Chain A
Amino acid sequence: MSGTTAQQLSDLADTLTASANAIDAQVNSNLDPLSPEGQHLKDMSGHIATQAATIGMLAMATLQNDVQAAVTDLNGNIKQANQKIAQIQSAQKLLSVAAALLSVAASAATRDPFGAAENVMNLVNMVQGAIKNT
């Protein structure tokens, strides 16, 4: 089996399983399953299915070598992504709150109305600053 890939082992197991299925289907369709011939063929399909399961276990074992490293890597990526999502969500809240505050400020402003518009521009910097590390 040296050099055999997990995919090849899996394909072989699938082929054997399909053969066992086909034999069982034939027995059930064309023979009395309890007849000596039927029982003999069902025993044969059972042996083939067992061989398929044995080969399938080898396929699993071949793939398993890389699983732990993948789990560790993936968990690290998930942690990083969750931090970024939290930053984006914080910036969204800031944008929402800042816009509401601006609305109040604009209503209150009487002497320097263009100052309210300037405040809008200041929001750009606030939001960009909040997410610059994302």
Chain B
Amino acid sequence: MTRFLISAIALFLTGCVDLTAVQNFASKSSGVMTANSAVFSGWPPIIVTHALEVARTPVIARSERAADAKELLQLANEFKGDSAVIQSAAGALQLYFTTLTSASATGVVDVSKQAASIDQSLVALKVESATGAGLAAKGSAQAIVQLLQIPLDLARQAAVRDLVVKSDKDVQTLVAYLAQVAKQAARLDYVAAGILGKYYDTSAIDSRDPGVQALVRDTGWQRQSDAQSATSQANATASALLAIGKDHAVLAANAAQLSADVVKSTLTADAPIIEAALKPFLPK
């Protein structure tokens, strides 16, 4: 029986798999979706709205950017028309990573105090003793209660493995799409910033007052800076989404060994890319 208990404890120790890396990855990925949920559902940003407003002015209508402004209006309408699909994709992906976080966090319940209490009672009853063997050995109840946790831990691993393998194709489709959405939002931002810039530039050129000219130019630079920040953050979000897809593919390929070194090292290496997208990519 002693051999049985030793084997049981050994099985328990080998049966438990550390899914902390998977849990952290899933949690951060869910965080990226949460941080950008307003962006994925809040199109168009103010910069595009302003660009479309100035597009109607004679300054732009007579300029070299007239065709670009017309194209921006069409593209913005198309993008807005896709908002239901975008929200649906972002919502499903967020729910997925929340579920994966929960599944990988369903750790082994700590019953050590209860098990110790059982052993204490059994020793008091002289069922267990320091010289006893098998079930009569001191601490046997604790070992058995730990043994009970093996099937639970195996079930947890199976749930995570099943979810990751079954969902990988869908996750790849959605992250690729949302990465493209983020990039496209940045591209439209850039076009909008260019049209606003043209409006300010032309206004500055047409003004004969150096003071007014300076103020208009300053406003134009500020808008350009805002657009560059938005573009940079949108690209960070796109990169994060692509990294999430890559990491998830590694999880699926190593589903049988989710605590393997290759999984941990890949997730650790990409963590900064994902963390860079934990804030919205467009200005309010």
Contact = CB atoms under 8 A, between A and B. Distances in A.
B77 to A, nearest CB: 11
Q: Which of B149, B184, B201 has the most chain A CB within a 10 Å cutoff?
A: B184
B187 A78 contact: no
B158 interface: yes
Interface in B216-264: 217
Nearest to B155: A134
A47 B191 CA distance: 9
Interface in A12-39: 13-14, 17, 20-21, 33-34, 39
Contacts of A100: 114
Contact of B148 (A20, A64, A95): A95
A131 B152 contact: yes
A34 B213 CA distance: 10
B229 to A, nearest CB: 14
B130 interface: no
Chain B interface helix/strand/loop/mixed: helix
B201 A20 contact: no
Contacts of A49: 68, 187, 190-191, 194
A96 B111 contact: yes
B145 interface: yes
Contact of A59 (B125, B163, B180): B180
Contact of B85 (A20, A64, A74): A64
Nearest to B105: A85
Given A88-B152, A103-B114, A70 B162 contact: no
Contacts of A81: 99-100, 103, 159, 162-163
Interface residues of A, number: 69
B125 A109 contact: yes
Given A78-B92, A127-B152, 14 more contacts: A43-B63, A43-B198, A49-B68, A50-B191, A60-B180, A60-B181, A67-B85, A67-B174, A71-B92, A73-B169, A74-B171, A81-B163, A107-B125, A120-B118
Interface of B: 63-65, 67-68, 71-72, 75, 78-79, 82, 85, 88-89, 92-93, 95-96, 99-100, 102-103, 106, 109, 111, 114-115, 117-118, 121-122, 124-127, 135-136, 140-141, 144-145, 147-149, 151-152, 155-156, 158-159, 162-163, 166-167, 169-171, 173-174, 176-177, 180-181, 183-184, 187-188, 190-191, 194-195, 197-198, 201, 204-205, 217
30 contacts: A13-B183, A39-B201, A39-B205, A43-B64, A53-B75, A53-B188, A56-B184, A59-B184, A68-B88, A70-B89, A70-B169, A70-B174, A71-B92, A73-B169, A73-B170, A75-B92, A77-B96, A78-B95, A78-B99, A85-B103, A88-B106, A99-B145, A106-B125, A113-B125, A114-B135, A117-B127, A117-B136, A120-B144, A124-B144, A127-B151
